[in-house]
Structure 1
Amino acid sequence: MAVVSFKCPNCGGELVFDPNTQSYSCPYCNSEFSQEQIDTMQKENQPSQETSEAADSAKGQEQEEAAVYVCPSCGAEIVTDPTTAATECYYCHTPVVLSGRVSGEYLPQQIIPFAIDRKKAEEIFLENMKKKKFVPHGFFSAKQIEKMNGVYFPYWMVDWRGDASMEAEATKVRTWRTGDTEYRETQFYRVYREGNVEFDDMPKIALQKANRKLVEGVQPYDQKAVKPFSMGYLSGFQAERRDLEKEAFGAEIARDTEQYAKRVLENDMRGYTTVRPVHQQVGNRQERWRYALVPVWTVTYKGRNGKIYYYTINGQNGKVCGELPVDYKKLSLVSSLITGVVFLLGLAGGFLL
């Protein structure tokens, strides 16, 4: 497994991507480098074609066996999940990118870099926890916050073009009053609409093992921030490689686009009191797929019942989504206090009467 580590040319320390400056910084000598400088360093250190071919020939065997990489800083051998594309050495904490996981057919075309750093993510997390009265303290303890990870999740982004038509039954209802009598007039129409429909940047998470509901719950992302992919963006973060191909989403895309097209055509049938579609057709479908990585801050917590709870934060805009554990002892205590207060107020009311 080929491993990439971005070294500071000034002191040899590990460079990490800084969401605040959108550049690369060295925590040892405080040097900063632009994306252009990182791209230049990456080209200079790119493996030869012979080495790449050798890596590709071993690809099938590697996927069947345990995924192992050698840390370029301390030499430790680390076993990783087969879909992990970027991580850090568990021993010396050097951030590394497993280049074989983000090359060839698995090379992302685009990436939305982290715009929220770890400190800001922790602030967002703790601020939200203040509003949750019955969450166990262990969920947001200092030890738990240390487990917060910045992860790039793999997505398929789909641009869709097609022709759509709809036939509907519609009515216009008019009421008026003359003296004490109210009149109602209903006119019936047959309405037809057709046209070209376009949908851009429809996201589909391309990872089976992810808690899809929570990762999708922090959508949407501002697509204006999309950058051409560079492995340097992964330095200092974790990343996952896709294990779902675009063919897996064929039926889902067809269903979604038909629903979206129906909504667009219905919205164009304005001026009627009621609209009831009776026939819809979508054809001449054209799709453009792009493989992209998007940023998410994640927190996981194992409850006393053994269940794993997830909490996610959009790494671009801070939107949160989570499934939170409940401290039933705290909930019972509050319920008992409320019951006691109500009982005392009832007694006091009885004495007053």
Structure 2
Amino acid sequence: MNMATVSMKCPNCGGELIFDPKSQKYKCEYCGSDFALDEISTEEAATQAASDVVQEREDTSDNHTQQRTAGAEDAAVLYTCPSCGAQIVTDQTTAATFCYYCHNPVLLSEQLSGAFHPDQIIPFEIDRKQAEEHFLDFVHKKKFVPNAFFQKNQIEKLTGIYFPYWVCDAEVEGSLTAEGNKVRVWVSGDEEFTETRIYRMEREGHVSLREITKHALKKTDNLLAEGVLPYDFSKAAEFRMGYLSGFYAEKRDIERKELEEEVHREVENCTRDLLEDTIHGYNGVHILSDHIRPIREQWKYTLLPVWTVTYKGMNGKMYYYSMNGQNGKTYGELPVDRKKVFLFGALCGGIALVIMLLLGYFIF
């Protein structure tokens, strides 16, 4: 499947433009120019590119059908690099990438058009240099990480990716009925008395829950994608293709309907907990009944920035490191170098043995 592409060009020198997280502007790495977001528009170009590809497919559909390999349509897409003309194969969820040959950023506009056009995006605020510093600081705090994690080629694997998420705002009305008891114990003479009073309680409330965030990409490790939450959605912007230039991006392959049951369950549980938290001063509380009624839901398809590193350990296990591209929050399960653990244990044991020998020599 041939894919429409968009490339952002510098008006001054024709070089590739990338989005710079530090300045929040588009930057040309060739002549050093920078441009405000409103000065460079890729939306019209993206729409036209997608339209051209659709027309091309209609005109040559029979020829394309003959060229497709059985099963390949579900696994990969083909795009032509707008900078060097090379044809590159990538998977179906890729929306922004780099040309393997000329290394220029390429935006696959059709991947994020129509029903897959994101409602909003939170741009990267942490650039690559800051991300590397965060990564090294995170790794240095771990005593037994393999030396390979400190090597330059490992740091170069640090990748900025926009992952797709569904973000839901919900409003509900909730009510519950409960019984609470208060116990009083006292002693009179030689006898102990216990008094239990039972109270009936009712609670009602209007609850607004904001920014319930669920990742929407099947191939992404769930902990990798959700371990960097939350984000500050007050900084969310209307989606523009230009934000993706210089980064990788994925489009969703998990639809809203697949997540609704999970989100509804979370909303109900959270509402119930909030109502229960208003009950105080009882020795015990028993919930008799509850009723939670949804009023309004708003879902937004959102791209969020994540810096990632993957590492294959000696045991063959894949380890993941991810960092929130907005605030720097990190998540990661790092491998352990058994040799370092053994040497550290041997060193501690040797020191302990020397101390015991010295104590024995002076005491006895």
Shift of 1:270: 3.3
What is the 5 A alignment of 1:5-24?
5-24=7-26
The counterpart of 1:33, out of the listed 13, 35, 45, is 35
Residue 175 of structure 2 contacts residue 205 of structure 2 at CA under 8 Å; is this kept in 1?
Answer: yes
Q: Distance in 1 between matches of 2:28 and 2:50?
A: 30
TM-fit CA distance, 1:43 = 2.7
| Structure 1 residue 310: Cα displacement | 0.5
1:286 corresponding residue in structure 2: 296
Using a 3 Å threshold, how does the CA distance of structure 1 residues 118 and 49 change in structure 2: closer, same or farther?
Answer: closer
| Counterparts of residues 92-103 of structure 1 (less than 5 Å) | 92-103=102-113
User: Structure 2: how far apart are the matches of 1:83 and 1:149?
Assistant: 17
Q: What CA deviation, in whole Å up to 9, does each residue of 1:236-267 have, x standing for no partner?
A: 00001100001111220121011101111012
Q: What is the aligned partner in structure 2 of residue 326 from structure 1?
A: 336
Do structure 1's residue 126 and structure 2's residue 109 form an aligned pair?
no
Unaligned runs of at least 5 residues, structure 2 = none
User: What's the offset of the Cα at 1:212?
Assistant: 0.9
C-alpha deviation, 1:182, in angstroms: 8.8
TM-score by length of 1: 0.92
Compared CA separation, residues 66 and 344, structure 1 to 2 (3 A): same
Q: What CA distance in whole angstroms lies between the structure 1 residues aligned with 2:171 and 2:138? A: 40
Distance (whole Å) between structure 2 residues aligned to residue 178 and residue 47 of structure 1: 90
Kindly, what percent of the aligned residue pairs are identical? 49
Deviations 1:195-226 (A, max 9, x none): 22221111010011101112201110001110
Residue identity opposite 2:35 in structure 1: F
Report the alpha carbon displacement of residue 56 of structure 1 after superposing the two structures with TM: 8.0
Measured against aligned partners, the alpha-carbon deviations of 1:107-129 in whole angstroms (never above 9, x if no partner) come to 10100000000000111111111
Equivalent position to 1:4, from 3, 6, 29: 6
- The aligned runs of 1:1-353 (5 Å cut-off) are 1-39=3-41, 42-43=43-44, 46-47=47-48, 51=52, 53-54=54-55, 63-64=73-74, 66-173=76-183, 186-351=196-361, 352-353=363-364
Structure 1 residue matching 2:230: 3-state secondary structure: coil
Letter paired with 2:44: K
The 1:268–1:79 alpha-carbon spacing in structure 2 relative to 1, beyond 3 Å, is: same
Letter in 2 for 1:338: C
Q: Distance in 1 between matches of 2:249 and 2:50?
A: 25
- For the residues of structure 2 that align with 1:163 and 1:73, how far apart are their CA atoms? 55
Query: How many residue pairs are counted as aligned between the two chains?
Result: 352
Deviates more, 1:343-352 or 1:42-51: 42-51
> Over aligned residue pairs, what C-alpha RMSD do you find?
2.5
Cα deviation for residue 308 of structure 1 reads 1.1
- 1:47 is paired with a residue whose SS is helix
Q: Taking structure 1 as reference, are residues 9 and 178 closer, same or farther at Cα in structure 2, changes over 3 Å only?
A: farther
| Structure 1 residue 276, shift from structure 2 partner | 2.8
Unaligned runs of 5+ in 1: none
Q: Distance in 2 between matches of 1:301 and 1:220?
A: 24
Shift of 1:48: 7.2
Q: Label 1:111 to 1:45 Cα distance change in 2 as closer, same or farther (>3 A).
A: closer
**Which amino acid in the other structure matches residue 245 of structure 1?**
E
TM-score, with structure 2 as normaliser: 0.90
Deviation, 1:314, is 0.4
- C-alpha separation between the residues in 2 aligned to 1:282 and 1:45? 44
Contact 2:50/2:110 (CA < 8 Å) preserved in 1?
no
CA 1:64/1:211 → structure 2, altered by over 3 Å: closer, same or farther?
Answer: closer
Tell me, yes or no, if the aligned pair for 2:50 and 2:109 is still in contact at 8 Å.
Answer: no
Aligned residue identity for 1:158: C
Residues 46 and 109, structure 2, Cα contact 8 Å, conserved in 1: no
**2:74 and 2:266 mapped to 1: Cα distance?**
35
Cα deviation, residue 77, structure 1: 1.2
Deviates more, 1:42-51 or 1:235-244: 42-51
Between the aligned partners of 2:112 and 2:50, the Cα distance in structure 1 is 16
The answer on whether the counterparts of 2:171 and 2:297 sit within 8 Å (CA) in structure 1 is yes
3-state SS in 1 of match to 2:154: helix
